[in-house]
Every structure is written in C-alpha cells, then in structure tokens.
Structure 1
Amino acid sequence: MPGTPTQDYRELMSTFPTGVAVVTGLDADGAPQGMTCSSIASATLLPPTLLVCLRTGSRTLSAVTARGSFAVNFLHDGGQEAAELFSRAEANRFSQVHWRMSQAGLPRLAQDAFAVAECKVSDVHMVGDHAVVLGEVTTIAQVPGTPLLYGLRRFAAWPIAAVRPGGRR
C-alpha cells in the first residue's frame, strides 16, 4: 500500500545518491551558522552560479539572506561526522569542528571539506518549506579529495580514487 505523497517522495529521493556539503554563513551578529545540504546544483557556467536549497526558518538561511553571501563546503569522505553534526538542530556546532574564517569573511570547514565555493547571493525563491538560493561563485579553493556521498540513507565515498584538477591522480 503506498504511503502519503510526502513519504513516497522522501523514499524516491533517498534512492538518488548525491554529494554532501555544509552551507555556511555569518548571521547579523557575526556568529557562524551552517547546515548540511545535499540539494546543490550547478545553475549556470556564465556567470558561475550554484543553486542550494535551505530550510525556511533556519538560522543558516537567515544568515545567508541577511549578509548576501555564503560558502559551500564540499565534504570529503572523512567528513561524515561534520555532515551529521550540521544536519541536527544543535547549538554550538562550530565549537565541535575545526573551522576558520576565509579572507572574504565566511566560515570554512578546515578539515572536513576538500573544496569550498564562496558565493554572493544573486536570487532567492521561496518554494514550499525551502528557499532556493542562487549564488554567484566568487572564490574557489580546492585540494585533492574523495567526495562524500549520501544515498539509500547511508554515507559512502566515491567508488574510485579522486582525480585532481588537470587529470592527475
């Protein structure tokens, strides 16, 4: 017997593996905010723009829209604890991870991310219980790493060794 449309949709989406990131920003008081996000996509190449979906009512969405900027911390396969931490509504999450402020003034997860894209908010659309945020990429920092994936309600590493930019292993 099928479940409710919401249950069926949640089950459907659990079968679609995706990369895992933590979206971070600073709130109006300058405190770091962040949340785990697997709803990320490349929206355009020119200008380079990312799309992230953030839960309405979250402190992260408030920080991103108030300051007009955010960072997408793409987690490596050793970042599962950070992914789980930032998926919970827990106070003082940043005290439990190694992070630093970037030159642009955005929180970066120093040990859990293999790449960080800093973005300037270009548009926000409220859709249901989430906001679709478009951000023009202003800065990229990347080191070799194997992406953390999530699907079938489990974390996993990319199944092959990561290739560095330029095609080198």
Structure 2
Amino acid sequence: MPETTQADPGPHRDGFRALMSGFPSGVGVVTSVDHRGQPTGMTCSSLSSVTLQPPTLLVCLRDHSRTLVAIRESGAFAVNLLTQEARSTAELFASGAPDRFGRVRWTMDADAAGPHLGHDAHAVADCRLTGTQLVGDHVVALGEVRRVVWHEEPRPLLYGLRRYAAWSAAVKEPATTPGGR
C-alpha cells in the first residue's frame, strides 16, 4: 500500500466501507422473536466480545430494523455463528426476504433467547439484553450470554473485502472447542 502523508479530512461513506472491508470478520445471524412470537433475524458481522465477567457480546443492528424491535420487546437475542458452508444462509438473512425462516431449518427450545439455526451454525449464544446505545443509523446492543450451545467444531464463515470465505485451510493446528468438545 502506498504511504500517504496527508490525512483524509473526513472519509465519506464509500471510503469508510472500503476501510472496513479490509478487516474480515466472522459472520453471525442475530435472531429474536417479536411480541407475537414470530421469529426475526438478520445477518451481522458487526459483533464482538466485550467482557468475560459477566460474559457479554455486542452486536450492531440497523436502527428500527424488525430484529432490533423484537430484541427490545423480548429483552433477548441469540447469536448464531455460521459455519463456512452457510454462505447461502448469510445471504438470505442479509436480503430482507420476509420468508427467510421458512427457507432454513431452525429450532427454539424453552431456554433459547431466539431461534437457533443449528444446521447452519457451529455455535449459538443465547443473550439477555442489558443495554442499547444509538450510534448514527445503528444501535449497539449489549447482551449477557446466558448459554452457549455447540453444534459442531468451529469452521467459521468469514466476511471481508465484500465477499464471503471459509476459514483458511492453511491453518495447521486443529481447532478446539471450549468446553472439551
């Protein structure tokens, strides 16, 4: 990359997107249920761990999205960490298609904070909403992780440079799952 000597006085939207596309991230689907018990969810690569005590995740969701409204109503959400084979699920939940839950396999037991996409996720974190903060056109939602359900060894789907990719096959060390699985 060429070195620049002059700072950009204020990166415009496209420049900021280009900057962040060079920072690959794992891909998840954040799910919840609305006040009628209907499932809702959206693809999210803006998620991060915050603290181990208490175990807390943050997700960034579009303000006024159906998923965010449902999370605020229910006070809970699930973060489904997608496997490298789940690109079509990531694209489906990013599309806004109204029938997305009719096109994937999902379950929701009594302890779930939102629908689990167990066929497409290697792990799911069930979270209790602990706070929100509006930042521009998105809302940062904090969730205390109440339960983690493992479906398989992690082989995460990644998103960066405006495309999906599998975890590199060049990684020589075997993946280990916390908790001994």
Matched, 1:131 2:139: yes
The aligned residue for residue 79 of structure 2 is 72
1:48/1:92 CA distance change after superposition, 3 Å: same
For the residue of structure 2 that corresponds to 1:120, the secondary structure is: strand
1:150-161 to 2 correspondences below 5 Å = 150-159=159-168, 160=171
TM-score norm. by structure 2 comes to: 0.87
For 1:138-153, what aligned pairs fall within 5 Å after superposition? 138-142=146-150, 143-153=152-162
Q: State the distance in 1 between where 2:31 and 2:179 align.
A: 29
Aligned to 1:163: 175
Residues 31-46 of structure 1: pairs in structure 2 closer than 5 A = 31-46=38-53
**1:122-168 deviations in whole A, cap 9, x for unaligned?**
00001111000000000001121300000111111111375122698
Cα displacement string for residues 17-41 of structure 1 (whole angstroms, at most 9, x for unaligned residues): 0000000000011000000000000
Gaps of 5+ in 2: 1-7
Query: Are the structure 2 counterparts of residues 79 and 67 from structure 1 closer, same or farther at C-alpha, using a change threshold of 3 Å?
Result: same
Deviating more after overlay: 87-96 vs 154-163: 154-163
Q: Identity of paired residues, percent?
A: 49
Higher strand share: 1
Instruction: Map residues 91-110 of structure 1 onto 2, 5 A cutoff.
Output: 91-105=98-112, 106-110=114-118
Looking at structure 2, the residues matched to 4 and 22 of structure 1 have their Cα atoms a distance apart, in angstroms, of 29
CA RMSD of aligned residues (A): 2.0
Q: Distance in 2 between matches of 1:99 and 1:81?
A: 15
TM-score, normalization: structure 1? 0.93
Ranges of 4+ aligned residues in structure 1 off by more than 6 Å: none
Counterpart of 1:119 in 2: which secondary structure? Answer: strand
The runs of 5 or more residues in structure 1 that have no matched partner are: none
**Paired residues, what number?**
168
- 1:87 match: 94
Cα distance per residue 1:25-73 (max 9 Å; x no partner): 0001100000000000001110000000010121000000110000000
> Which residue identity does 1:154 align to in structure 2?
R
Mark the CA change 1:116 to 1:166 in structure 2 (over 3 Å): closer, same or farther.
closer
1:24 paired with 2:31, answer yes
| SS of equivalent to 2:54 | coil
